[in-house]
Copies of this chain bind each other. A is one copy, B any other.
């Protein structure tokens, strides 16, 4: 049921470092590869690569400012990703609930027979 369409956006958000980057960018209202790397346990280059990935899927946008390259979160796109995320969660939740109901029904049936 869980389609494969999600996978590009999902996998972009799937990386822990990228999640923390998005978190920092949201908290500070933007940032550069260098500024982010100072608050993360990875080097600037690693951050830069991640920013490239996030840029490709449209979760962030770059704005050259002098010698800096300032990144900001595309909130609309992130909202879309979050929606997909919670929809997957909801699907599993529903399935788990259904399984539980069936299990309980079987239990009741057995109890009736005994």
Contacts and interface: CB of A to CB of B under 8 A. Distances in A.
Contacts of A108: none
Interface residues of A, number: 30
Contact of A82 (B11, B16, B89): B89
B75 A100 contact: yes
A95 B26 contact: yes
Closest 8 CB pairs of A and B: A86-B89, A14-B14, A85-B89, A82-B92, A7-B16, A82-B89, A26-B95, A82-B93
15 contacts: A1-B23, A2-B19, A2-B20, A4-B16, A10-B16, A14-B14, A22-B92, A26-B95, A75-B96, A82-B93, A85-B85, A85-B86, A85-B89, A86-B89, A86-B93
